[in-house]
Amino acid sequence: MPFHNLSGARIAFDLDGTLVDTAPDLVRALNAAITPAGLDPVPLAAVRAMVGRGARALILRAYERAGRAEPSADETATRLERFLDVYADGVADLSRPFDGVEAVLDALGEAGAELSICTNKPGWLARPLMDALNMSDRFVRIVGADDAPEKKPAAIHLETALGGPADGRAMLIGDSEPDVGAARAARAHSLIFTDGYSEKPADALGADRLFKHWREAPGLIAELIPNAEIC
């Protein structure tokens, strides 16, 4: 899938549910955090629809799912600390890139596109995850929720990942509503992976394009970025 004429294109990627299937490690950490509080373990399938707004939101969603009142700030902090400790201790134990991701990243990079990560995961977790999966070298920036003044869907998070304001050759590839919101706010193109972790149906998010498998992504990228072509 070789591209050409991608010099000057800037493409940012969401991480969880877009580049990497992290749900198995996230559910491992979530259940370690919430079961001491008397909640039943959350199944893997449920976690896939709960990811996208950060670890704190994931914990609150678990309480909501169990029919429990929202925990106090102190209780939330305790659960969050446990979640982060467990998750960081095995950040890539079960997580793997989605099928076809690495081939697309390599093709984009070889064609001159500048690649970055724009994730609501904390940067201090995102970077070790990418290192453990031997993927970090493909990106000029890995920008987590703590690396920008605001996280997605704020435009500034995407602009920080892109290295500046978006133009017609800037794009965010993600899987959920915060991704589409950030792209829209920054006036960048949006491309959504439909097999990710969205709370809402992908076709209800208002993205510019949707794709189900990464082999479909190159053609859609070429449609959205002016003058980009697939050889």
Claim to verify: residue 209 and residue 183 sit in the same structural domain:
yes
Q: Please list the rounded mean pLDDT of every run of 10 residues in the chain (231 residues).
A: 79 97 95 95 85 81 92 95 95 97 95 95 95 98 96 97 97 96 98 94 96 95 82 59
C-alpha to C-alpha distance for 226 and 12, rounded to whole angstroms: 16
Claim to verify: residue 30 and residue 9 sit in the same structural domain:
no
C-alpha to C-alpha distance for 216 and 115, rounded to whole angstroms: 18
Claim to verify: residue 218 and residue 137 sit in the same structural domain:
yes
Claim to verify: residue 77 and residue 137 sit in the same structural domain:
no
Task: Write down the catalytic residue from 14, 21, 25, 175.
Answer: 14
Range of the domain at 189: 3-22+95-230
Claim to verify: residue 54 and residue 69 sit in the same structural domain:
yes
**CB atoms near residue 133 (< 10 Å):** 17
Among residues 165, 101, 168, 91, the alpha carbon closest in space to that of 131 is found at 91
Strand pairing class (20-21; 96-97): antiparallel
Q: What local confidence, expressed as pLDDT, does residue 226 receive?
A: 81
Claim to verify: residue 196 and residue 130 sit in the same structural domain:
yes
Handedness of CA 81, 84, 88, 89 (dihedral sign): positive
CATH number of the domain within which 55 lies: 1.10.150.240
Claim to verify: residue 72 and residue 153 sit in the same structural domain:
no
Q: What local confidence, expressed as pLDDT, does residue 166 receive?
A: 97
Q: What local confidence, expressed as pLDDT, does residue 1 receive?
A: 58
Claim to verify: residue 183 and residue 134 sit in the same structural domain:
yes
Residues 6+ apart with CB under 8 A from 30: 42, 47, 58, 59, 62, 83
Claim to verify: residue 99 and residue 182 sit in the same structural domain:
yes
Q: What local confidence, expressed as pLDDT, does residue 70 receive?
A: 93
Show which of 69, 89, 109 is a domain's final residue.
89
Claim to verify: residue 165 and residue 181 sit in the same structural domain:
yes
**14 has catalytic annotation:** yes
